[in-house]
Structure 1
Amino acid sequence: MEHNSTFPIKLTELDMLRDEASSYLKSVQWEQGSRAKNKDKDAKDESILLYLSRANSGSSVDITSVSKTILALKKRLLPDSVALPIHLNQTLYAVQEGITLGIWIKDSYYDASGLSSLNENKSALDSNGKREFESKMHTATAFMLFSTAYKILNDLKPFASDDLSVMKQKFAGIPEVSLLSPLKGIACSLFYFDKYLGHPEIVKSDKDVIDFTVVYFEALIGEIQLRKSSLEYTETIEDRTYKLEKSEFAISGWNNVFSGTAKSIEFNKIKFEQIVGNRDAKHFARRLTERMLSYDFTAKKNPFQELGGLCPFLWATEFLVQEKVCL
């Protein structure tokens, strides 16, 4: 859908929401669902999924404090440091700013979609009104979480490692994502973010905190994208762009510019006759290249498998012509 309207995200309005965002970092409560508790229940004790499934320590509701976990990491990783190390500080600040912006986006959706009015008259809603209220609540929560994660990635990706493959191998996914309400959505996402940070195998250096945060919130965006098709009342999300004041940062619907990004590698072009090397080796390399190009994508095999590896390249060409295969 074409985005035909741009709305500014004013810094003064974000300032008014920052205390609320900070309060979530200080303390949120989340009760794990039964499916999350039972994930990987037969795995070994050192399994991260099993660790997450036991994150409530036997109690029904757990109080999570990301800010305290960050301070605990500082003591474990850099006990001699007086100030909070820069990578930990960057992460904590980025998550706070992401939540702040997410709250603003949620409030904007409330007003644009009519959810604010439904919420004010919730007790008087009929069955259709209640269904609309619940559907819009789910969509508001999803867009809030998406925007929060998107802002965090925007702020932290420039400082993350180029290669996150090791961290992604450690990461076992997010056991559950709640879209029931904005409060439950942020509580659930921060709960598992906090528990991962507290796992000794996830964070072994202060730089790992940034790397893991990027991996985690990339996964959160992925979870939201998977649920996007089931969401209703998304018109006021997909028809507009929100742009942060005095910044290039913008949110255009569900678009994710970080999806599939990778660093490209450019090779210098060189002709075969420019290669310096043993004559026999060069001959073998040319022949190998030619035979690799003879692969038949329809038959899903190379004709040299039947013709024999020592057959001239011309034989393969004739074979393909006879079989009416187009390379």
Structure 2
Amino acid sequence: METTLNCESAVYHGPADHVYDELARLASLVGIDITCAPGAVGVLNFTCDGAVDGHVIASFHEMFAPYFAAGRVDLDLRTDTADILELMVSVGATLRGQVVGVCASAGGIGATSTAAMLARELGAGTGLIDANPASAGIDLTLAIHHACGTRWADVARTGGLLAGRLVESLPTWRGVRVLSADERGAFPTGDVGARAIAAVAQICPVTVLDLGTSALGENRSVLDWCDVVLMLAPTSEVGIAGAKVALERLGHNTVPVVATNSGGELAHVASLLERECFALAQARGFSADVDHGLAPGSRTRSAVAKDIARIAAYVKELA
């Protein structure tokens, strides 16, 4: 029996190149890979053996019987496109990259800028989602608010979400795909936000969610998508007390990130929170940098950049 790790997302078996080309085109729309390598085994398998010209026969690997219907289905490449896409989307929904939440135990301590710098450090192809329902738009911080592309208001009007098409429609910042709020609306209520996170995470190897303080209240359900949550915390007595409460609410996979310039202070906070903590140097001139058009993470030799690099390395180790 093949294991999950040995399965491709989708596989085509057959000699007809035009059939494979059409399946590959459809797969690119939903953001899954398809191969026609001999001997390859897929979660979803297509073949033209036994099918009439212009048709394919689709079936799921028996190992995935608990998740998908068993048996084989004959599909016309011209008239059954929607059905083929639905089968491919169902495969993509089971496969996703790493999702990292960035939140704050109190407002105004830099969750948005930290999320942006982390996404940039993680490299081109990373997704960055403005997942704070109270956000005016992370694209303002990134100075891409005039760039063409999909925003939350556009996603909310869309019926079905095709992962590949959504990600391709997003504006790009330093190689990072960004889904932002704008003046028309922020992170939507209901299942629209969750479906968009799922779609972006199908395509991007890592997706960073800027949660702000919303993860402590009205947006707690988004935490279920996060493999790890980075929580920014201040070092004041009141801030540490608030951070303790926040950690209890956020769950076991939360890692505190302490805004401090002192190693001794970091160790003190870590002992009080009873958690391993990361330091994040305070960038006092950050607001001025943004006002003058300097993007988050541009000061590559700063203490902040070095701290973000350490956090990014930690995130990559968890993947």
Alignment TM-score > 0.5, same fold: no
Q: Which has the bigger relative contact order, CA under 8 A and spacing at least 6? A: 1
Going by fraction, where is strand more abundant, 1 or 2?
Answer: 2
Q: Which has the larger radius of gyration?
A: 1
| TM-score, length of structure 1 as denominator length | 0.22
| TM-score, length of structure 2 as denominator length | 0.22
Going by fraction, where is helix more abundant, 1 or 2?
Answer: 1
